[in-house]
Amino acid sequence: MANPSPTLVADRDRIAAARGSRSVLQRRIGVWALFVIMALIAFSTIYPVFFAVNSALKTQGDWIEARFTLSFPPSFDQLHEAWRRSSVPRTFANSVIVTFGGIVGAWAVCSPAAYAATKMRFPGRNILFILLLASMMIPMQTILYPFFVQMRDLQLVNTYRGLVLAYVAFAVPITTYQMAAYFRSIPNEVIDAAKLDGASSLQTLTSIVLPMARPVLATTGIINCVWMWNDLLLPLMVMQLPERQTLIVSLSLLRGQYGADPTLIAAGVAIGIAPIVVIYLVAQEYLIKGMTQGAVK
């Protein structure tokens, strides 16, 4: 077979180089386009928080005069007023109690359910799991009246345990689903080895599975924390006494019946979101790991 002429070789190399340059250019354009899209999404998420905090550091006159400028020098009067009106130390403690109790209660109920649905064999397992997941399609608002009647009959209204039980009950379907998705990635050989050593199912769950599932525990804990901390509906229904109000409920009352001070409301928003932001910044590594590892494996 005759060797190609130098001219054909040069043309082929030139075409290959042009295709390579075009491919590199396309990849760079794709990376920059993705960067721009992600930057816009990040800006749309961060800017409302920045605007709320910036407005909280202004007086009402400064906000009316120039609401989009930086608050310089900052004023802490509205933060102090929101703190005083909302009785933050008391309402903050109430929120911590019910949120922490709801998170731990959801872990205690959902981890055995997820373990049974993924690692145990018994008749009707799949049907029970499907029914549990199907309950997520029931809107909370459609069962609020029978829910409140049940809470009243059990004398759980205006009690911490009542609101904690309510949070656990409504968190069970989605939290069980998230844990089950992660538990499936745990090798069955590890569990079989524990059974051969004489460990019971409960011992295997607490000593083997849960230590390996720290990422999903952090993920479900953060997701439930955000929901339970920011929830208005259940605390308004269960905690009817002023001394049992949660922080978010108390801050929502800063808006008056006939008017509202935007800077005061912004101060309440800043106070309400501060704990969640701190928790997310501390635990974001576990959150990302738990969401990605459970989805990939």
Answer whether the bond into residue 146 is a cis peptide, omega within 30°: no
Domain shared by 236 and 159, yes or no? yes
Same-domain pairing of 120 and 230: yes
Is residue 292 one of the residues assigned to a domain? yes
Amino acid at 231: D
pLDDT digits (tens, 9 = 90+) for 249-287: 998 888 764 457 888 888 888 898 888 888 888 777 766
Q: How many domains, the chain?
A: 2
| Residue 93 covered by a domain | yes
Quote the domain boundaries for residue 114.
77-296
Between CA 52 and CA 270 the distance in angstroms is: 6
Low-confidence ranges of the chain (pLDDT < 70): 1-22, 24, 256-259, 286-297
User: Tens digit of pLDDT for each residue in 150-185?
Assistant: 999 999 999 999 999 999 999 999 999 989 988 888
pLDDT at 29: 83
